[in-house]
Amino acid sequence: MIRQLVTEGIIYSILALVFTCAIFLIGEITIVTIMSQPLREGPLYTGSVLVVLFTTMWDSWLRKTSTSNP
């Protein structure tokens, strides 16, 4: 039981780190794109859509794993 909790904690920590890095990279790419071009909605819209998509996938994965482990 404790071993399973520790394993899940490590997995969630790694996934949270990956999630944070992905958001940071999307933000950096968006900022660089905006700085190199005149300001318009394109890059910002694309970045926000990617963040929403990634968050939705993350949420559905968390729900699936939490319901499969009683």
Global pTM value: 0.41
| Rg from Cα positions in the chain | 17
What confidence score (pLDDT) does residue 44 get? 63
Mean pLDDT of 47-64: 77
CA distance linking residue 9 with residue 43, whole number of Å: 34
- pLDDT tens, 5-52? 888 888 888 888 888 878 878 877 777 776 666 555 566 666 677 777
What confidence score (pLDDT) does residue 19 get? 84
Neighbours of 56 (CB within 10 A): 10
- Residue boundaries of the structural domains of the chain: 2-68
